[in-house]
Amino acid sequence: MELQGKVALVTGAGSGIGKAAAVLLAREGAAIGVLSRTEDEVRQTVAEIERAGGRALPLVADISESDAVRSATDRLAGEFGRLDIVFANAGINGVWAPIDELQPEEWDRTIAVNLRGTYLTVHHAVPHLKRAGGGAVVITASINGTRTFSNTGATAYSCTKAAQVAFCKMTALELAKHRIRVNVICPGRIDTEIEENTEPRNVEREKEPVEFPEGKIPLTDGAAGTAMHVADLVLFLVSERARHITGTPVWIDGGQSLLVG
């Protein structure tokens, strides 16, 4: 149990990558703050952790709202006495549309959840990490905006993902003296529910034709990765095995982004 005695905050933990990571980190001994904006999903994740003998605290918050994130983070640290690990995973695909059709409020919502939400999660967690004497932060970005730019209409989403990589590098250097490591993962196609939360509109009209080689994901002959593949990477990055790794983006996509950049 690599994380025995540690306390972790996992955002977007109600489903997909966040849920898989929360369950895995709990299995390795960490007490988990299970945060999502959907209470039913949060309670299901907590119940799964507790059935396996782990410890978890349900936290319901919109990560784009500062007071809600601060309250949830303080509650977690108060409940378990410390905070050591942050997995800033929550995010949305939002509206994907041609730039002249993408409305300002649609742009703002994607920026608010993905980028402001990452900032708020780390901002409110860092004082607790400092008090613990150090810790590890992992941020979920994407191949979009970092290696891949062919998803027409995903401008707002891709901009947030590129910014998260810059955020990781800036904060990694700033926080190194406090023994807080910050890394960012960039998943490709992963078998989760996020596609159901994408709102495409008129993207085919603007899309540039791209000819792909047979098998879009070389390592798996086109099969998507799984949430557990990503959770395993998160576990490594927050563990002592990654104690000399910070400020580093890691692409986890089976080579997908090497084809379609």
Q: Which domains does the chain have, with CATH numbers?
A: 7-260 (3.40.50.720)
Is the Cβ–Cβ distance between 160 and 110 less than 8 Å?
yes
Residue 248 CA to chain centroid, in angstroms? Answer: 14
User: What single-letter amino acid sits at 66?
Assistant: S
Sign (positive or negative) of CA dihedral 185, 248, 45, 240: positive
pLDDT for res 258: 87
User: How far is it, in rounded angstroms, from Cα 252 to Cα 147?
Assistant: 12
pLDDT value for 257: 86
Residues forming the active site: 157
Q: What is the mean pLDDT of each run of 10 residues along the chain (261 residues)?
A: 97 97 98 97 98 98 98 98 98 95 97 98 98 98 95 96 98 98 96 63 58 66 90 98 98 87 51
Residue 3 pLDDT: 98
**CA 158 – CA 142 distance, rounded (Å):** 8
Q: What pLDDT does residue 218 have?
A: 81
Is the separation of the CB atoms in 191 and 225 below 8 Å? Answer: yes
Which parts of 31-103 fold into alpha helices (H)? 39-51, 66-80
CB burial of 54-74 (b: ≥16 within 10 Å; e: otherwise) equals: bebbbbbbebbeeebbbebbe
- CA neighbours closer than 13 Å in the CB half-sphere of residue 215: 9
Total count of residues recorded for the chain: 261
Q: What is the pLDDT of residue 221?
A: 76
Residue 216's pLDDT is: 72
SS3 211: coil
Q: Residue 190 and residue 123: Cα distance in Å, rounded? A: 28
